[in-house]
Structure 1
Amino acid sequence: MRSHQTKMMILVALFAAITAVCAQISFSIGPVPFTLQVLAISLTGMLLGRRWGTVSVIVYLLLGVMGAPVFAGYQGGLQAIAGKTGGYLLAFIPAVYVIGLILERGKISVWKAFLANLLGLLIIYAIGASHLKLILNLSWEQAFLFGVMPFIIPDLIKIVFASSLGVIILKRLVSAGFPVQTKHMQKNTA
């Protein structure tokens, strides 16, 4: 039990770091930068599950809120959460939880992973665009045009990649005896 928790805490820290690195691979295309965070969140939910994935995202967000430059553009501090992209950041919590929840039940497949990641992406868009609308005083149409539309195709590509890669990694981790999400999932992934 203790060994499992230690391994999972290491993975929590690793995926918080991966999310931070993916945030720095960015460029601006309007009020919301293009990053690889959706890829990181998808893999976090898939590989760590709802419980540990959520903990990893919370660790990432707390590091940022405390001032560590882990958000896009090496930003950190509470102002990043209160700013125009804060809704997207906060949406990572329910998104990773839902991705993990779906994938912890039943057999894992790339198709199921894609659908879970798509739902997670829709959660990110809904919360992020709503926050963007409020912060910048935009119409719903403007919030969609600035905060969702430019990202749809790239994000779909990211979740297809994450779904395929995640299933491969899950199968290899399970065959190597590494703890993955839940024991129920271990039986159904092999």
Structure 2
Amino acid sequence: MQNSKISVQDICSIAIMTAITAVMAQISIPMPMGVPLTMQTFAVTLSGIVLGARRGAISMIIYVLLGAVGVPVLAGFSGGFQHFIGPTGGFLLSFPVMAYLIGVGTKLRKQKGMFLLFLIFGTAANYAVGVLMFCILMKASFWTGFTACVLPFLPTAVIKAAAASVLGLKLQVRLGEVMQWT
């Protein structure tokens, strides 16, 4: 995107990724410590890859705002501000940063290792903010937060990131780079 204007195509693409995230949030498996396994992070990763840093972050800001005002886009067809100030709120709040970082990596993908590095940075940012908020609100140690919020999810995080990367990069090729990724 050469200028800062958002086109109709941008708006539609952002809306589609926001909607995909809302749908993927409904694929949720409850976990013992209260942090569910969802497909939201798959959608956030896909958003950063397909839309790029700026649009990917915008789509996640819209998703977070919709959830915060009560639209049932979060896991379990829920919504409301209470989800953002609870133990899993940090994960949700970090979605725009995660999409942005992954989008930056997508733009740098021709530089050896940069895409993977930013994919890891984006995922790590999601975990860091999520664990921090979990630990503060639950008055838990870092180790407790790590074992509740990260350790059980690492295998699926790798699988979701790999699948979103393969799909997202293929979508870019199929779209023929119609949009100039930012």
Report the TM-score when normalising by structure 1: 0.87
Residue 39 (str. 1) matches residue 42 (str. 2): yes
| 8 A contact 1:22–1:35 mirrored in 2 | yes
CA RMSD of superposed structures (Å): 2.0
Residue 168 of structure 1 corresponds to 170
1:135 Cα offset (Å): 1.0
Instruction: List aligned pairs for 1:38-187, cutoff 5 A.
Output: 38-105=41-108, 107=110, 112-174=114-176, 178-182=178-182
- Bigger share in helix: 1
1:27 Cα offset (Å): 1.1
One-letter identity of the residue aligned with 1:134: I
Residue 186 of structure 1 corresponds to none
Give the share of equivalent positions with the same residue, in percent: 37
One-letter identity of the residue aligned with 1:86: G
Report the TM-score when normalising by structure 2: 0.91
Q: Deviations over 1:71-100 (max 9, x none)?
A: 112221110101111000011111111111
Rounded to whole Å, the distance in 2 between the matches of 1:158 and 1:105 is 21
| 8 A contact 1:170–1:180 mirrored in 2 | no
Structure 1 residues not aligned, in runs of 5+:
183-190
Rounded to whole Å, the distance in 2 between the matches of 1:127 and 1:161 is 23
1:178 Cα offset (Å): 2.3
Rounded to whole Å, the distance in 1 between the matches of 2:114 and 2:164 is 12
1:117 Cα offset (Å): 1.9
